Amino acid sequence: MGIVGGTGPAGRGLATRLAAAGVDVTIGSRERLRADEIADGVRARWPERNLTIVGADNAGAVSADLVVVATPWDAAPSTVRSLAGELAGKVVISMANALVKDGREMLPLIPARGSVAAAVAAAAPGALVAASLHHLPASQMEDLDATLLADVLVCSDHLEATAATVELIGAIDGLRPLDAGSLNQAGAIEAFTAVCVTLNIRHRAHSTLRLAGI
């Protein structure tokens, strides 16, 4: 799998956990050298794990069969648009949250089309877009010594994308993927990240989402 904009904390954390689960990961960047450095750094941090993570430019990352978009939210649609040809027919997971900080609080923004994921889908009309991974704290994902315990919501208009995303997330120890419906749910899922991050700020925590009764 490939991660567009995978050099940030979110991409690094996901790459680390997936590689630890035996998945081949390509970290993408606008600058190939930066991706190489980040991939080298993750492998060096966990030398005994033999993590299969390599660097590439973003075009290289989308040659994978499954792609995660991990850029800032406002860069996701334009980045995906520039790669749309290569993404046609592929499962593309949007994990971006449109948030703004206001004092000790995060507030959700409403992107054009109602969610970042919907904007990503419009930018790559041939791709099978799912929205997921929004609520996972990067610091915990990056630390393989930290025990993960979290539910991960997945929504998409494509059964194939939901199934592939559920399978990918299910490979990571401690994560329970949950089908949360169509891409219409993405706006609410993304916006709820503002609540999660605000809780973390107020309680100095790295909380994860867990749903009772399901």
Identify the CA nearest to 99 among candidates 91, 89, 110, 88. 110
- If one asks whether residue 87 binds ligand NAP (CB under 6 A), the answer comes out as no
Q: Which CB atom, from 73 or from 213, has the smaller least distance to ligand NAP?
A: 73
CB 132 within 8 A of CB 155: yes
Q: What is the contact mask toward ligand NAP in residues 5 to 44, using x (rule: CB under 6 A)?
A: x-xxxxx-----------------xxx--x----------
Residue corresponding to tokens 């994990």: 95
Q: What is the contact mask toward ligand NAP in residues 131 to 150, using x (rule: CB under 6 A)?
A: --xx-xxx------------
Nearest residue to ligand NAP by CB is 8
Beta-carbon contacts of 210 under 8 Å, excluding residues fewer than 6 positions away, are 149, 150, 151
Q: Which CB atom, from 159 or from 211, has the smaller least distance to ligand NAP?
A: 211
Among residues 79, 132, 165, 198, the one that binds ligand NAP under rule CB under 6 A: 79
DSSP assignment, residue 101? Answer: E
Q: What are phi and psi of 4, to 5 degrees?
A: -75, 130
Stretch 38-77 residues interacting with ligand NAP (CB under 6 A): 70-73, 75
Sign of the CA dihedral running 90, 81, 9, 178: negative
- If one asks whether residue 169 binds ligand NAP (CB under 6 A), the answer comes out as no
CB of 60 to ligand NAP, least distance (A): 12
CB 200 within 8 A of CB 207: yes
Beta-carbon contacts of 158 under 8 Å, excluding residues fewer than 6 positions away, are 91, 128, 129, 130
- If one asks whether residue 90 binds ligand NAP (CB under 6 A), the answer comes out as no
Q: Which residues bind ligand NAP (CB under 6 A)?
A: 5, 7-11, 29-31, 34, 70-73, 75, 79, 95-97, 133-134, 136-138
